[in-house]
Amino acid sequence: MKTIWYKSLLLSASLLALLSSCSKEDNATPTTPTTTDKTSGFVASTIAYSPSGSSYFAGYFDGIPSGQIDLTQKTSFKFISPVATYKNAFFSQATDGTTGLSKLVVDATGKIVVKGNIPTTSYIGGVKIINETLGVYAEQSTAGKLFTFDPSTMTKTGEIDMTGAKIIDTNDANLYYNMVYRASDNRLFAPLYTSNSKTSQYYDATSIYVEVINLTTKKREKTIEFANAMDPYQRGSLNPLIDETGNIYFLTQGSYGLDGKVGSNAPVSSKPQIIKIPAGTTEFDASYRFNPVTALGFPNLIVQIAVGGVYDKNGIAYACVTAGEYPARVTELITKFAQGKATAAEQAELYQLVIYGSNYKWVKLDLNAKTATAIPGMPFTAGFSYPNSYKYDDKLYFQMLNDAEKVNGFYEYNPADGSAKSLFNITAGGVAVGLVKLSQ
């Protein structure tokens, strides 16, 4: 039987759970809007995880963070995890650890404050900011629903008409996370995440389903399906993979080996792959499949994983992928878990090996040529944990975690010359997870 513990593991900070912690200063009370909120600088955030509860820290920096950083000297929260950004604001599950969607800014003193909050009936799923006055969000407990809100006032404004949306009734989770907006035709593409808590798998379907939504009419138009692919939740920062011409890509996860189908003989649906909706259309290109782990040269790994995608330009994207074999013990434990035979101690051991196992590399993906190349100058990372990635101006920023090499922070990559360097390292406050840039 699928356990709540492992489900939380697989989503880490992104599938939000009610976690408790001690809080030095919890900014859960909305503040009066001012005109002096910061419109530049960065917010770095961390999570200090433990099975009994987690602590969250975040802090503002005038310039891009660098060097050795003790984030416990900033502010602690019961929860903070940016799931969307817009100009100088970012959006998160309520910072007091309860349900609700919060908008956060940095005030004139450099303090992170809540600018508004929308009550929700459960924890939030995906959040997409379209413009100054339109945002869309999902709730985890409301099957097949999408709600609209005004990000400027943080008021709920209604619902998308989702009549006819694909719902798998035998599954107890049917919601949306990494939604993609295409401005050229004012369409929102919402991939369905569907799961059954009674199975050992994580995603309980063998096709990808995406709802095509007309934001002019606020109505769902149709459901499109891509067969033999699993799980569109790409983890990390949930960056939209859409190029300059309007081609949309989804980095699908496969099964993480939890269906018991592992190694070179596993079906294509159980492995990660990138799929495509061509520009100017609202249908999948059935001929386009791209497995970045196989392209990197590792077709026979027991478990292939590709997470944390981010688009750059000219058909180039980046992702964090397995680039080396797991220890044999991981294979043994995954098999036992898939069979429902893993003890609590073995599940905890699997957590340590997978979450903190540094056998991933950040790689450059050519979406046209379907090639993958490891970025030089960057160490292996525990990519499954918090594979957050960002593009700011002309540079890329990648979360890195490698206990053996004492790396816990972000690297900066410059595509212009192919150089990579360590940006900052967290010395206290848990694992580096977020790096939000504020703008006007």
Query: Digits of tens for pLDDT over the chain (440 positions)?
Result: 443 333 443 444 333 333 333 333 344 444 444 569 999 999 999 999 877 789 999 999 999 999 999 999 999 999 999 999 999 999 999 999 999 999 999 999 999 999 999 999 999 999 999 999 999 999 999 999 999 999 999 999 999 999 999 999 999 999 999 999 999 999 999 999 999 999 878 899 999 999 999 999 999 999 999 999 999 999 899 999 999 999 999 999 999 888 888 888 899 999 999 999 999 999 999 999 999 999 999 999 988 999 999 999 999 999 999 998 888 898 889 888 878 899 989 988 887 787 678 999 999 999 999 999 999 999 999 988 789 999 999 999 999 999 999 999 999 999 999 999 999 999 999 999 999 999 99
The rounded distance, in Å, linking the Cα atoms of 385 and 379 is 16
pLDDT score recorded for residue 336: 87
Q: Is 88 left (phi over 0), alpha (psi -120 to 50) or beta?
A: alpha
pLDDT for the residue 16: 33
Name the pTM for this structure: 0.90
The span from the CA of 187 to the CA of 440, in Å, is 25
Count of domains for the chain:
1
Q: Say if residues 434 and 34 touch (Cβ distance below 8 Å).
A: no
Beta bridge partners of 322: 360
**Which residue range forms the structural domain that includes residue 323?**
4-437
Provide the pLDDT for residue 356. 72
pLDDT at 197: 93
> How much is the pLDDT for 355?
63
CATH of the domain at 172: 2.130.10.10
Collect all residues with Cβ–Cβ distance below 8 Å to 251 and sequence separation of at least 6. Answer: 232, 234, 241, 272, 274, 292, 306, 307, 309, 319
CA angle, 318 then 319 then 325, to 5°:
135
Residue with tokens 């990372």: 381
Looking at residue 334, its pLDDT comes to 81
CB neighbours of 425 closer than 8 A, spacing ≥ 6?
Answer: 67, 68, 69, 406, 407, 408, 409
